[in-house]
C-alpha cells in the first residue's frame, strides 16, 4: 500500500513537471508537424508509388513512433537532473523500494510520452489521415507498449551517465539509428542484409508496423502480422523493465 502511494506520488511529480514546461510542450508538437508537412510533402512529391495511400499517410505512424521515442529518451534526462540537483537523494533515502522508485519514474515518463504521442495522433486529419475512435482505442495500447521499452532504454542509459552532456551525446547515437531503422520513413524489408539485424532488434520497428497496420488498413501489406508485432513488443518491454529495475537498484 505505501509502496503504491510512493509510486503514485513519483508518477504525479513527473507529470506535473511535464505540464509546467510549456515551451517544450509546444515545441514537441511543432517538430512532428514539420516532419509530416515539410518532409512528408517534400519527399512524398518525389516518391511516386501507387499503393493506395500517400507518403504522408505512410510516415504518419512512423512520426508517432518517433515522438514516443524522442520524448521518452529526452525525459530520461530527468534522472540525471535529479541526481545533479540532489533530489534523487531525497527519494533514495525514503522508506520505499528501488523497484517502486523505478516504476514510479517509468510510469511518469511513459505518461508524458503518451500525451505527446496522442497530440501527434490528433494531427492526423491535418494531413488527410482518417482517425476513428476505434483506431484511437486500438492505437493507445500499442503506444503504451512502445513507450515502456523506449522509456526504459532512456532510464537505463541515464542511470549509467553522470553528466547531462554525455547523456545528450549518447541520446543522439541511440535516437537517430532507432528512428531511421524502424521503418518510420521507408520500408525496411529492402535494406541490405547487414542493416537488417539492426531493424530486427529495434522495438520501434514492431511498434511502427503495428500502428501502420491499423492506420492504413487493408491497403498496407505488413511484413509481420500485428499479433507477432505485439508479442515481440511485449517481450522487449519485459526485458527492458527488468534491466531498468536492475540498473536502478545498482546505482547509489
Q: Which is nearer to another protein, 93 or 133 (CB)?
A: 93
If one asks whether residue 22 binds another protein (CB under 8 A), the answer comes out as: no
Q: Is 98 in the site for another protein (CB under 8 A)?
A: no
Judged by CB, which is closer to another protein: 83, or 212?
83
Q: In the bound complex, what is the minimum distance in angstroms from residue 11's beta carbon to another protein?
A: 11
Q: Which stretch binds another protein (CB under 8 A): 50-58, 91-99, 111-119, 175-183?
A: 91-99
- Closer residue to another protein in complex, CB, 18/206: 18
Query: What does the chain look like in DSSP terms, one character per residue?
Result: -HHHHHHHHHHHHHHHHHHH-HHHHHHHHHHHHHIIIIIHHHHHHH----SSS-HHHHHHHHHHHHHHHHHHHHHTHHHHHHHHTTHHHHHHTSSS-HHHHHHHHHHHHHHHHHHHHHHHHHHGGGGT----HHHHHHHHHHHHHHHHHHHHHHHHHHHH--SHHHHHHHHHHHHHHHHHTTTSSS-STTS-HHHHHHHHT-HHHHHHHHHHHHHHGGG---SS-HHHHHHHHHHHHHHHHHHHHHHHHH--
Size of the site for another protein (CB under 8 A): 25
Shortest spacing between CB 89 and another protein, in angstroms: 5
Site string for another protein, 41-80 (x = CB under 8 A): ----------------------------------------
**Rounded-to-integer distance, Cα 117 and Cα 100, Å:** 25
Closest CB 9 distance from another protein, rounded Å: 4
Closer to another protein at the Cβ: 85 or 227? 85
91/123 with CB nearer another protein: 91
How far apart are CB 112 and another protein at their closest, in Å? Answer: 13
By CB under 8 A, name the binding residues for another protein. 2, 5-6, 8-10, 12-13, 16-17, 20-21, 84-87, 89-96, 252
Amino acid at each position: 500500500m505505501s509502496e503504491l502511494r510512493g509510486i503514485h506520488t513519483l508518477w504525479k511529480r513527473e507529470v506535473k513537471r511535464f505540464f509546467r514546461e510549456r515551451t517544450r510542450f509546444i515545441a514537441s508538437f511543432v517538430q512532428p508537424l514539420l516532419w509530416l508537412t515539410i518532409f512528408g510533402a517534400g519527399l512524398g512529391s518525389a516518391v511516386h508509388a501507387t499503393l493506395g495511400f500517400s507518403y504522408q499517410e505512410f510516415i504518419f505512424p512512423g512520426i508517432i513512433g518517433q515522438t514516443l521515442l524522442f520524448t521518452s529518451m529526452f525525459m530520461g534526462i530527468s534522472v540525471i537532473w535529479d541526481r545533479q540537483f540532489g533530489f534523487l537523494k531525497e527519494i533514495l533515502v525514503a522508506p520505499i523500494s528501488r523497484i517502486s522508485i523505478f516504476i514510479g519514474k517509468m510510469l511518469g515518463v511513459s505518461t508524458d510520452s503518451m500525451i505527446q504521442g496522442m497530440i501527434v495522433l490528433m494531427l492526423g486529419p491535418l494531413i488527410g489521415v482518417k482517425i476513428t475512435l476505434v483506431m484511437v482505442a486500438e492505437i493507445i495500447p500499442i503506444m503504451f507498449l512502445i513507450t515502456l521499452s523506449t522509456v526504459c532504454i532512456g532510464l537505463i542509459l541515464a542511470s549509467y551517465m553522470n553528466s547531462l552532456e554525455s547523456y545528450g551525446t549518447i541520446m543522439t547515437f541511440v535516437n537517430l539509428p532507432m528512428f531511421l531503422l524502424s521503418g518510420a520513413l521507408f520500408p525496411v524489408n529492402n535494406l541490405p542484409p547487414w542493416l537488417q539485424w539492426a531493424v530486427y532488434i529495434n522495438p520501434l520497428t514492431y511498434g511502427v508496423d503495428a500502428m501502420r497496420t491499423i492506420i492504413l488498413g487493408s491497403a498496407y501489406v505488413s511484413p509481420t502480422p500485428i499479433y507477432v508485432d505485439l508479442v515481440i513488443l511485449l517481450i522487449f518491454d519485459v526485458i527492458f523493465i527488468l534491466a531498468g529495475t536492475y540498473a536502478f537498484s545498482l546505482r547509489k
